[in-house]
């Protein structure tokens, strides 16, 4: 019911929807220093203001929760459904080739730009789904609410703020994942691994090293400064490391020091196998340098043993695991600092349902200790699971099948959405399962027809759930 009207509606309004997505993409909205009235910095606040003006221009009721969250209501009836999306993005990163990160362009049926897929494109698709239901004058007995946050990429404090003031809707989905339905989101084991030593002036040495920009992004660059080594020595080690890891190394000599930059490939931390980690590549290179034995070298080699380049399943650390319903553990080393008196490395683990403190955290800590490394003893956060046979999920799957022409099923992901702590919340679109839209990486894109498909599916879901 209503399928033809919905299909015709989005044929007519396609260009408007793309225009409004591009308006948001042009706003760099990665998190920055908080300011008065801007809890996540200027970028997310500007994006929220632009989204509010857009929704108001479409005659929706809008409420701003002090720039933590923006809500847009379909009507004034009792709330049945929340749709949770976000307007913040990860930093632009390097390596863009099709366009610049905040200069959206449509090419070969794809909309390129930071946030096109994660999550500005899906957010506007959901807004236009609400607009379609309203414009088509579909009779409803309940309401839907679009909730747009500003801190999803850095901890989701925005939703904590929102749910301290509002109750959870009976049903919730987030268009910040993939189709068909994400009913399992893996848990987390995120922790710092550290080592300390006394400062030394002995040469040769690693003066400093660092890499990573966000705790949930596999980094594409990492850097080091070396002293007391010849460029020939460093170049030979770089060639060996490049051959072993696929990481490319640039060398620059200045003021009797050698500056090294490692170039890899970005990826979302929930899918570390899709990238090439510049930090672990740099660690391989640093561990291969002809340096004297010391506590700093021992710690660096220990880190390389605990988490060798390309081992994103936790095999070397002795914690590889998987289960039938949620798949396997993944781990990524996303932040790294090495200085005169110590090193620290941040690990982001996405954990299956079977993971516990005993079989993951304690084993990881014990192995690290054997290598002379200390681990911040954080808890394993359990996975999120909504039963696949609920009427809510069956309705979502039916809407997907109706418009996509494919058989739907519930699946598990390593990423987390806003729904992770909600009793009846799931991920639902906006990309088809086979699409790799370079989320968190260079040349992020959304397939235009998938954004339109998502909008149609969301419109039908609103009708079916709120009638």
Q: Which domains does the chain have, with CATH numbers?
A: 3-186+384-466 (3.40.630.10), 188-375 (3.30.70.360)
Q: Collapse the DSSP code of 68 into the 3-class scheme (helix H, G, I; strand E, B; otherwise coil) and give the result.
A: coil
**Is 151 designated active site?**
no
**Is 152 designated active site?**
yes
Residue holding tokens 């989905």? 173
Instruction: Report which of 467, 186, 208 is spatially closest to residue 353, judged by C-alpha positions.
Output: 186
Residuewise pLDDT in 10s, the chain (467 residues): 899 999 999 999 999 999 999 999 999 999 999 999 999 999 999 999 999 999 999 999 999 999 999 999 999 999 999 999 999 999 998 899 999 999 999 999 999 999 999 999 999 999 999 999 999 999 999 999 999 999 999 989 999 999 999 999 999 999 999 999 999 999 999 999 999 999 999 999 999 999 998 888 999 999 999 999 999 999 999 999 999 999 999 999 999 999 999 999 999 898 899 999 999 999 999 999 999 999 999 999 999 999 999 999 999 999 999 998 899 999 999 999 999 999 999 999 999 999 999 999 999 999 999 999 999 989 999 999 998 999 999 999 999 999 999 999 999 888 778 998 899 999 999 999 999 999 888 999 999 999 999 999 999 999 999 99
The number of residues in the chain equals: 467
Instruction: Specify the pTM.
Output: 0.75
Q: Are 178 and 427 within 8 A, CB to CB?
A: yes
Residue holding tokens 């997310």? 44
Catalytic residue among 30, 88, 444, 450: 88
- The two structure tokens encoding residue 132: 């379609």
Cα three-residue angle 3-5-8, rounded to 5 degrees: 105
Catalytic residue among 119, 151, 152, 444: 152
DSSP structure string for 313-344:
TSTTTT---EETTTEE-EEEEEEEEEETTEEE
438 half-sphere exposure, CB direction, 13 A CA radius: 25
Instruction: Report which of 377, 212, 378, 363 is spatially closest to residue 283, judged by C-alpha positions.
Output: 212
Instruction: Report which of 82, 84, 61 is spatially closest to residue 142, judged by C-alpha positions.
Output: 82
């Amino acid at each position: 019911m209503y399928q033809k009207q919905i299909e015709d509606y989005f044929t007519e309004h396609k260009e408007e929807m793309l225009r409004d997505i591009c308006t948001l993409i042009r706003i760099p909205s990665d998190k920055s220093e908080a300011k008065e009235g801007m809890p996540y910095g200027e970028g997310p606040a500007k994006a929220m203001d632009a989204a509010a003006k857009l929704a108001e221009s479409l005659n929706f009721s809008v409420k701003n929760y002090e720039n933590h969250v923006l809500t847009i209501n379909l009507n004034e009836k009792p709330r049945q459904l929340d749709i949770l999306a976000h307007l913040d993005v990860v930093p632009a990163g390097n390596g863009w080739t099709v366009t610049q990160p905040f200069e959206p362009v449509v090419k070969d049926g794809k909309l390129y730009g930071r946030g096109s897929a994660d999550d500005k494109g899906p957010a506007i698709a959901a807004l236009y789904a609400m607009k379609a239901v309203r414009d088509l004058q579909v009779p409803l007995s309940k309401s839907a609410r679009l909730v747009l946050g500003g801190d999803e990429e850095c901890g989701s404090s925005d939703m904590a703020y929102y749910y301290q003031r509002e109750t959870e809707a009976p049903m919730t989905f987030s268009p910040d994942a993939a189709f068909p339905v994400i009913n399992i989101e893996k848990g987390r084991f995120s922790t710092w691994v550290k080592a300390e030593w006394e400062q030394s002036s002995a040469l040769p040495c690693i003066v400093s090293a660092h890499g990573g920009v966000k705790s949930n992004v596999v980094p594409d660059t990492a850097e080091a400064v070396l002293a007391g080594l010849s460029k020939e020595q460093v170049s030979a080690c770089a060639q060996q490391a490049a051959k072993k890891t696929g990481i490319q190394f640039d060398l620059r000599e200045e003021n009797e020091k050698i500056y090294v930059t490692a170039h890899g490939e970005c990826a979302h931390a929930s899918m570390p196998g899709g990238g090439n980690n510049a930090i672990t590549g740099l660690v391989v290179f640093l561990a291969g340098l002809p340096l004297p034995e010391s506590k700093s070298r021992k710690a660096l080699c220990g880190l390389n043993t605990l988490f060798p380049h390309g081992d994103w399943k936790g095999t070397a650390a002795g914690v590889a695991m998987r289960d039938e319903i949620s798949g396997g553990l993944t781990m990524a080393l996303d932040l790294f600092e090495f200085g005169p008196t110590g090193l620290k490395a941040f690990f982001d683990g996405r954990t299956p349902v079977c993971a516990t403190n005993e079989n993951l955290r304690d084993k990881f800590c014990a192995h690290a200790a054997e290598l002379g490394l200390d681990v911040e003893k954080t808890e394993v956060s359990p996975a999120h699971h909504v039963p696949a046979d609920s009427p809510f999920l069956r309705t979502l799957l039916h809407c997907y099948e109706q418009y996509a022409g494919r058989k739907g099923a519930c699946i598990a992901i390593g990423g987390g959405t806003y729904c992770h702590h909600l009793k009846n919340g799931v991920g639902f679109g906006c990309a088809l399962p086979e699409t790799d839209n370079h989320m968190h990486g260079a040349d992020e894109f959304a397939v235009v027809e998938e954004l339109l498909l998502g909008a149609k599916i969301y419109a039908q879901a609103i009708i079916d759930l709120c009638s």
